[in-house]
């Protein structure tokens, strides 16, 4: 005696076909529209047509990755239960088992989602061979594998049994085989779902939530991806373009052309905490041999980049909430630029960087002046990372230091218990690591450290800075580096004097700074040293320095000698002297 109305509409209209329904309460048996047995089909209301309440603002408002509030902590018990359910006798019995721990519609959808993502693998053989493909829900359940259409159909059927309104959607996706900047033609190539929860429609993709395939498309790996569960529509449109644009669930829908031109932000882009990237187009052109990229993120994040598989043709700097990258391709043509990221807290755990975005860089001209030394390590310059290692208030915040006379001086405030080591590197193979260190003079004044650099010649140099805890007997760890550039070909600074182990880090050389002294001259010495009883300068003859308010001063004649040593007498009661400095004397 119940009147039932069936409406059928073309797929491209916004109203969706209404299923045959029971208007009575309780489970009923009805033949479905596809002629399959709908045993256990529960009461569902007529599918909701799309309305203003379903639509979200585009671009993304950077609020949430989900289209509704979801507390993943509250799902832990349900998720664990869903993973253990092992029923494959029928879709109805599987759903019945899953719903034992699910009460709300959201919990029902979550249980179905978790089960499919962890129990159905992508069918590699079926993808390559359509005749071996299974897509009907019961078959997918029995086989435990399918392609995207099978995932979407099974999800739709399980929701139907659970009394949840669900739509299977089709369209284009930037998935396996997608090439940056490509266009989409022909039939749709992917399927996913929409579910009706708490008064509005939401999007999800259980195929992409379950795992991934390798580059050769020969192996599927279960790798659960939370991102594709109730994804915010303004983020979902990055990779999914439905045939019916209404299912973008956006107030301002995108055209296919806009979708093609839009940057593909991989799921890890957002799950890592990144917010935006500029430029936001997949293909970028260099201007005078240079292209720039910047990323904004919520928290401190570590980045890497690869241009044509190497990080040598660019300069990356970290910001507190992002990074800046300037690239200088050294060949014209089209090049792939990959950006990688990982949260800073992942540093200690040793987790790997994930590729979050990919560009095609079109380079029409090369800037030959921006060739970087092979020893330059990315990122360049001080950052929140060097601050975290105890290098505070840097005098030079930019990554590149330009010097005309071949000299520069950097200062930092150091955190407690930090010992510093620095080295200078160049393309010039004659500048060994030991020689490079001789061109840096480290001076400690309380919690301040100064690094004086005198370059041996013009060119590009890398200043690397390492640290360790003074209380730690272990080795030094690399922290950060600078690029130092000098174009003046007349520059030729000698090294600083050689320091022996008895030279303490808070001693200071005021003069002479040059480790190469002029021959046959009287040379003035002025050294700041504490806790010393006597200081001698040994040349052809021995000269005694006098203590003037903490500075040991005096002169030494360099006639008739090739080397000059500074020696200290630490205890007036002992006759033993320790060497602390060594100078060379110019040959006549």
Q: Which of 283, 241, 282, 291 is nearest to 263 (CA)?
A: 282
Strands (E), 214-273: 220-222, 229-231, 240-242
Alpha carbon 482 to its chain centroid, in Å, reads: 21
Count of alpha carbons within 13 Å of 455, Cβ hemisphere only?
A: 28
Residue pair 222/118 in contact (Cβ under 8 Å)? The answer is yes
Sign of CA dihedral 159, 163, 164, 169: positive
Active site residue 556: no
The residues near 565 (Cβ < 8 Å, ≥ 6 apart) are: 537, 538, 579, 581, 582, 583
Q: Is the peptide bond before 398 cis (omega within 30 degrees of 0)?
A: no
The residue among 577, 570, 587, 584 whose CA lies nearest residue 523 is 584
* Residue 226 to residue 111: CA distance in whole angstroms: 13
Is 117 annotated in the active site?
A: no
Q: What is the 3-state secondary structure (H, E, C) of 346-398?
A: HHHHCCCCEEEEEEEEEECCCCCCCCCCCCCCCCCCCCHHHHHCCEECCCCCC
Residue carrying the six token digits 């203003």: 52
Strands 145-146 and 121-122: parallel
Q: Of 79, 205, 311, 460, which one is the catalytic site residue?
A: 205
Residue of 56, 190, 232, 335 with catalytic role: 190
Among residues 177, 176, 155, 174, which one has the least CA distance to residue 166?
Answer: 155
Q: How do strand 498-499 and strand 522-528 relate by DSSP bridges?
A: unpaired
- State the catalytic residue, choosing from 117, 119, 123, 148: 148
Active-site annotation holds for 190: yes
Looking at the annotation, which residues are catalytic? 148, 190, 205
């Amino acid at each position: 005696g119940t009147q039932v109305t069936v409406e059928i509409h073309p797929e491209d209209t916004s109203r969706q076909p209404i299923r045959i329904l029971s208007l009575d309460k309780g489970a009923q048996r009805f033949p479905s529209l596809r002629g399959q047995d709908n045993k256990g089909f529960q009461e569902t209301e007529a599918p909701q047509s799309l309305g203003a309440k379903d639509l979200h603002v585009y671009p993304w408002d950077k609020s949430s990755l989900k289209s509704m509030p979801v507390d993943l902590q509250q799902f832990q018990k349900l998720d664990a239960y869903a993973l253990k359910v092992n029923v494959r006798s029928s879709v109805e019995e599987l759903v019945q088992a899953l719903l034992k721990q699910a009460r709300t519609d959201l919990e029902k959808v979550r249980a179905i989602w978790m089960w499919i993502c962890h129990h159905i693998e992508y069918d590699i053989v079926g993808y390559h061979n359509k005749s071996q493909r299974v897509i009907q829900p019961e078959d997918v359940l029995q086989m435990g594998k399918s392609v995207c259409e099978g995932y979407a159909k099974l999800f739709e059927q399980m929701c139907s049994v659970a009394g949840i309104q669900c739509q299977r959607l089709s369209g284009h996706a930037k998935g396996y085989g997608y090439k940056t900047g490509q266009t989409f033609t022909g039939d749709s190539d992917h399927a996913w779902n929409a579910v009706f929860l708490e008064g509005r429609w939401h999007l999800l993709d259980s195929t992409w939530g379950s795992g991934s395939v390798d580059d050769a498309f020969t192996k599927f790996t279960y790798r659960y991806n939370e991102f594709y569960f109730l994804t915010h529509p303004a983020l979902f449109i990055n990779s999914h373009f439905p045939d019916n644009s209404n299912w973008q669930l956006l107030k301002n829908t995108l055209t296919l052309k806009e979708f093609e031109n839009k940057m593909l932000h991989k799921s890890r882009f957002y799950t890592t905490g990144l917010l935006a990237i500029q430029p936001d187009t997949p293909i970028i052109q260099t201007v005078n041999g240079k292209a720039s990229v910047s990323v904004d993120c919520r928290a401190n994040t570590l980045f890497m980049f690869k241009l044509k598989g190497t990080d040598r043709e660019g300069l990356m700097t970290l910001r507190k909430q992002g990074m800046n990258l300037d690239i200088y391709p050294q060949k014209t043509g089209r090049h792939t630029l990959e950006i990688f990221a990982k949260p800073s807290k992942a540093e200690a755990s040793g987790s790997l960087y994930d590729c979050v975005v990919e560009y095609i860089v079109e380079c029409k001209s090369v800037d030959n002046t921006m060739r970087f030394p092979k020893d330059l390590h990315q990122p360049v310059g001080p950052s929140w990372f060097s601050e975290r290692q105890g290098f505070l208030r840097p005098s030079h915040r930019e990554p590149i230091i330009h010097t005309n006379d071949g000299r520069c001086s950097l200062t930092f405030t150091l955190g407690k218990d930090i010992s510093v080591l620095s080295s200078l590197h160049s393309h010039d193979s004659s500048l060994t690591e030991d020689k490079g260190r001789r061109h840096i003079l480290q001076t400690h004044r309380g919690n301040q450290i100064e690094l004086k650099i005198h370059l041996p010649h013009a060119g590009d140099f890398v200043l690397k800075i390492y640290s360790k805890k003074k209380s730690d007997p272990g080795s030094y760890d690399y922290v950060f580096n600078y690029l130092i550039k000098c174009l003046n070909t007349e520059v030729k600074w000698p090294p600083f004097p050689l320091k022996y182990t008895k030279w303490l880090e808070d001693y200071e050389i005021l003069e002479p700074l040059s480790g190469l002294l002029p021959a046959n001259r009287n040379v003035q010495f002025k050294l700041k040293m504490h806790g010393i009883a006597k200081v001698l300068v040994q040349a052809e003859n021995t000269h005694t320095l006098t203590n003037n308010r903490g500075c040991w001063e005096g002169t030494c004649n360099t006639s008739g000698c090739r080397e000059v040593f500074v020696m200290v007498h630490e205890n007036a009661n002992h006759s033993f002297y320790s060497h602390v400095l060594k100078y060379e004397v110019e040959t006549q």
